[in-house]
Amino acid sequence: MHVDGLVTVSSQAGPVETAERLVAAITARGLSVFARIDHAAAAAAVGLPLRPTQLVVFGSAKGGTPLMQAQQVMGFDLPLRALVWQDEALQTWVSYPDMTWLARRYGLPPATEQAIGNMTGFLQALVAQSSGAPADDELDAELDETFPASDPLPWSHDTK
């Protein structure tokens, strides 16, 4: 599935486990989970069917503020979000924003390129960790070295 501005990755786990893993990965890196919106539960509450669909809203002012300093309306797409959803074939997916696409959308200056690149890598790592990919000790070690829990916001820097 392709939607402009989104990255979508399949998960080897079901939707509940994938969402739980995603939240655990986010909090382990020191970010805040601001909201979890269960769209399927809301649909069921009004008598409408919807396959499992959960939105996780997360981030940190330390990470997002520099991007908003560069282009304040970037706040429309911050904090970050990831959607865990299940398709008609019962495959679970995680969709999240393509940061490069967002940078183009908002016309972010070149000074933000490193921040955008680091944030992209961070999102990829979170989703890989939550999607149930087989354990890869070498990848885990690289992830811990690149994005240590003691420095949870590697993309945060002055973008002026």
d(CA 92, CA 52) in angstroms, rounded, equals 9
DSSP string, 87-101: -TT--EEEEEE-HHH
The pLDDT confidence band at residue 148, using thresholds 50, 70 and 90, is low
3-state helix, strand, coil in the chain (%, to 5): 50, 20, 30
Cβ atoms of residues 36 and 56 within 8 Å: yes
Residue 15 and residue 70: Cα distance in Å, rounded? 35
| Residue 153 within a domain | no
Tell me which of 26 and 135 has the higher pLDDT. Answer: 26
Q: What is the CATH number of the domain that holds 127?
A: 3.30.310.70
**Is the pLDDT at 79 greater than 60, yes or no?**
yes
Report the predicted TM-score, pTM, of the whole model to 2 decimal places.
0.82
Tens of pLDDT along 39-69? 999 999 999 999 999 999 999 988 899 999 9
Residue 152 included in any domain: no
Please, which residues have CB within 8 angstroms of residue 26's CB and are 6 or more apart in sequence?
A: 33, 56, 58, 126
Q: What are phi and psi of 57, to 5 degrees?
A: -110, 125
Distances (CA, A) of 156 to 16, 30, 59, 123: 30, 13, 11, 14
Bigger pLDDT: 158 vs 2: 2
Measure Cα distances from 88 to 2, 51, 83, 141 in Å: 16, 8, 16, 36
In a domain, 102, yes or no: yes
Q: Does any domain span residue 154?
A: no
Structural domain count of the chain: 1
Is 39 part of any domain? yes
Say yes or no to pLDDT of 139 above 60: no
The verdict on residue 58 lying in a domain is: yes
The DSSP element (H or E) to which 15 belongs, if any, is: helix 15-28
Q: Could you read off the pLDDT of 4-17 as tens digits, one per residue?
A: 999 999 999 999 99
User: Does residue 115 lie in a domain region?
Assistant: yes
Task: Name the residue range of residue 21's domain.
Answer: 7-146
What average pLDDT does the segment 140-153 reach? 56
Q: Please give the pLDDT value at position 154.
A: 47
Does a structural domain hold residue 37?
Answer: yes
Structure confidence by residue, pLDDT tens digits, 91-101: 999 999 999 99
**Dmax (CA) of the chain:** 50
> Could you tell me the end-to-end alpha-carbon distance of the chain, in angstroms, rounded to an integer?
36
